[in-house]
Structure 1
Amino acid sequence: MTTPAALTLETPAEHPFAPFVRILGKGKRGARNLTREEAREAMGMLLDDKVEDTQLGAFLMLLRHKEESAEEMAGFTEAMRARLTPPAIKVDIDWPTYAGKKRHLPWYLLAAKCLAQNGVRIFMHGGGAHTAGRMYSEQLLEELRIPLCRNWQSVTQALDAGNLTFMPLQDWAPQLQRMIDLRNTLGLRSPIHSLARILNPLGARCGLQSIFHPGYQSVHREASGLLGDTSIVVKGDGGEIEINPDSASHLYGTTAGISWDEEWPALSAQRHVKPASLEPEHLKALWRGEVQDSYPQLALLSTMALALRGLGTPREQALEMAQRYWDNRDKAL
């Protein structure tokens, strides 16, 4: 009688990305934040498509659940910047626009347009319409004559011609766009929305960031500080870079890694009534001077002042400059 050959059992090798998921998901006592170096390595693997889809979803949602740290965001940013290859393009303001508006029209677009008419070079970027019921920058670019660029050469040409351009995230970081597009599959925003705001891909003199959720503003400021960047983080209206004139604004600033804070008082003594509907034609009418409307004019003036503050101009002087720029704008559309 012959004895069957012994079965050989082999333990499958652990996936190289598994340790990063384990660090975040090992329970209340075992889980911890990623170090900056771990975050850099993990994001590098995500960007280089070296993870399984299940790992990607688990990683993003574990980060979302615990809330990302400044060190993690700095490491993620370093990984992304190491893989970007844009040409040297002079930019004054990096202006991420990823949230969309639902309570008010995107008056920040007129603020950026007016600043550009006065020599401020602005690079805007966004991630498309990822949430229903919101109005996104991309939907209004053509009507407001803001150039939509699909490659770095056209970005250079648009900035040289008119100081303002918008480039979709899909065209310069498709890996990040794919992760953002998981929002409706996973049911929650992921840290990629935060990463896109911090990136400042062209190394602008100042990066503006709007973070709506309380507590995240200081994390973003700290991450930019770790990177040695100059940036201002605010709680903008609806999550976009737009000052709400009905409320006081706290500016979380960092200049070459040194943190500072400013409190800007509300510009309006009384709160304005929210519009019943968002009509894009109202944007154009205000720009052309066909209507007067207190809320948007205060919102765009203070938003222009915010950008000028990022370039080193004190608040009161920045507000005066913004008013002068607005009064003397070229109203043609």
Structure 2
Amino acid sequence: MSSTIRSNDFTQYVKILGRGKKGARSLTVDEAEHAMGLMLSGQVAPEQSGAFWMLIRIREETVDETVGFTKATRRYLSQKKPLSIKVDLDWPAYAGKRNELPWFLLAAVALANIGTKIVMHGHTFEGENRLYVEEVIEQLGLQVCQSREQLSQMLETRCFAYMPLGKVDETLASMMDLKYVLGLRSPVNTVVRMMNPFFAAHSVHGVFHRGYDELHLSACEQLGDASVLVFRGGNGEAEVNPERDVTLGKWQQGMASWSNWPKAEQEHKRLKDNVDLSRLTDHWRGDQLDPFGQQAVRQTIASVAGLLYGVTSHEECLVLADSIWLKRDKAYFDSQI
């Protein structure tokens, strides 16, 4: 009886979303928050959650829905054991790269080398033609954190830590894995970028589809977030593609701002399909300058440093980035293996 009651609590939301062209509507913030709370607490049947996410996926999530989902997720995550160390920067990495390496990983480690405590989290989909950052981290000999204790330790000693979504929370990982059954990604992909699971002071979001940068920033405003950078990055990761103009959206000090940075490379230098990890390590050590990676890393560091240090000028951000890059520990990856 109780499971039926709980199930009916959620049925109302499927009905709201699926009543047809004239009857259906989007959810309010409160409705979205309640619906997400029911799913996170295990009170929703798999068939219900699948229908729910796909109905939203057809038209794409609204700002109010994103706010509601994120509020519920953050409240849920706040009940977990807190880290023993304060996180400076939250870096979700869920998209995976096609035909190129995750140069943003070098940008993150360079920032960590100057003391910025960064938590990167992501999820891997098996069988997709994508290179996920977790695979690269493992192959480079970096630790994939399996617990919050490991995460705190890595932040204390290395300032950079990576944790798979499944170790952040199994329920959220199961929601992501609905893709295997449904064949499509769901709005959960937006939630995991927005959630900031360890309540860092700053966040950087990479998005792929047009308009999602605006959705993220509008949601950040309603959520009262302190400091967020969002932009359409390489394959949807938080990595500036140097061969394209980029528009950076920033929510900071209660204000939204947008900056347009021209592409750093006028010619195509991307080495398509060359995903040899030695390109990353050789470039990091300074053994070989990668024509594409150099600007991908530089521009990405610049964008994030602008957020961390409150700098708006592209030129000043690049000066910051060059300074940060020069201070990197060239033996960092050697010491991990």
With structure 1 as the length reference, what TM-score do the two structures score?
0.92
SS at match of 1:27: coil
Distance in 2 (CA, whole Å) between partners of 1:259 and 1:30 is 34
Contact 1:225/1:254 (<8 A) preserved: yes
Distance 1:273 1:95, change over 3 A: closer
1:19 paired with 2:15, answer: no
Distance in 1 (CA, whole Å) between partners of 2:141 and 2:160 is 10
Unaligned runs of 5+ in 2: none
Report how far residue 248 of structure 1 moved: 0.9
Contact 2:168/2:197 (<8 A) preserved: no
Distance 1:257 1:201, change over 3 A: farther
CA deviations over 1:181-220 (Å, ceiling 9, x no partner): 1112101110001100001112212111011011211111
Distance in 2 (CA, whole Å) between partners of 1:142 and 1:52 is 35
Distance in 1 (CA, whole Å) between partners of 2:253 and 2:36 is 24
Distance in 2 (CA, whole Å) between partners of 1:241 and 1:183 is 22
- Higher Rg: 1
Contact 1:267/1:298 (<8 A) preserved: yes
Distance in 2 (CA, whole Å) between partners of 1:77 and 1:130 is 26
SS at match of 2:99: coil
Contact 2:228/2:251 (<8 A) preserved: yes
CA deviations over 1:297-328 (Å, ceiling 9, x no partner): 10001111111111113332221121122233
Distance in 1 (CA, whole Å) between partners of 2:315 and 2:239 is 18
1:212 paired with 2:208, answer: yes
Instruction: Please give the root-mean-square deviation of Cα atoms over the aligned residues, in Å.
Output: 1.6
Count the aligned residue pairs: 322
Of 245, 252, 255, which residue of structure 2 is paired with 1:255?
A: 252
Match of 2:196, as an amino acid? N
SS at match of 1:252: strand
Unaligned runs of 5+ in 1: 1-11
Match of 1:113, as an amino acid? V
Distance 1:267 1:86, change over 3 A: farther
1:319 paired with 2:318, answer: yes
Match of 1:318, as an amino acid? C
1:87 paired with 2:86, answer: no
Distance in 1 (CA, whole Å) between partners of 2:30 and 2:271 is 45
Match of 1:330, as an amino acid? D
**Deviates further, 15-24 or 139-148:** 139-148
Distance in 1 (CA, whole Å) between partners of 2:141 and 2:323 is 22
Distance in 2 (CA, whole Å) between partners of 1:95 and 1:203 is 11
| Percent identical residues | 39
- Structure 1 match to 2:182: 186
Distance in 2 (CA, whole Å) between partners of 1:291 and 1:94 is 30
- Structure 2 match to 1:302: 299
Distance in 2 (CA, whole Å) between partners of 1:107 and 1:131 is 22
Match of 1:39, as an amino acid? A
Distance in 2 (CA, whole Å) between partners of 1:147 and 1:323 is 27
Match of 1:45, as an amino acid? L
Distance 1:130 1:79, change over 3 A: farther
CA deviations over 1:238-291 (Å, ceiling 9, x no partner): 111100011111011111442111111111122324424311222112112221
Contact 1:93/1:307 (<8 A) preserved: no
1:173 paired with 2:169, answer: yes
Distance in 2 (CA, whole Å) between partners of 1:34 and 1:257 is 25
Distance in 2 (CA, whole Å) between partners of 1:157 and 1:37 is 37
Distance in 2 (CA, whole Å) between partners of 1:223 and 1:103 is 31
Contact 2:120/2:161 (<8 A) preserved: yes
Of 288, 292, 315, which residue of structure 1 is paired with 2:285?
A: 288
CA deviations over 1:85-132 (Å, ceiling 9, x no partner): 241531121100001001211001111111111111111000123551
Match of 2:295, as an amino acid? L
- Structure 2 match to 1:31: 24
Of 25, 35, 56, which residue of structure 2 is paired with 1:63?
A: 56
Contact 2:114/2:327 (<8 A) preserved: no
Match of 2:327, as an amino acid? N
1:112 paired with 2:108, answer: yes
- Structure 1 match to 2:70: 77
Match of 1:302, as an amino acid? Q
Contact 1:113/1:164 (<8 A) preserved: yes
CA deviations over 1:144-196 (Å, ceiling 9, x no partner): 34332112122111111111000111112211100111112101110001100
Contact 2:271/2:292 (<8 A) preserved: no
Contact 1:234/1:250 (<8 A) preserved: yes
Contact 1:130/1:184 (<8 A) preserved: no
Distance in 2 (CA, whole Å) between partners of 1:256 and 1:273 is 36
SS at match of 2:247: strand
SS at match of 1:124: strand
Distance in 1 (CA, whole Å) between partners of 2:44 and 2:174 is 14
- Structure 2 match to 1:148: 144
Of 28, 33, 54, which residue of structure 1 is paired with 2:47?
A: 54
- Structure 1 match to 2:240: 243
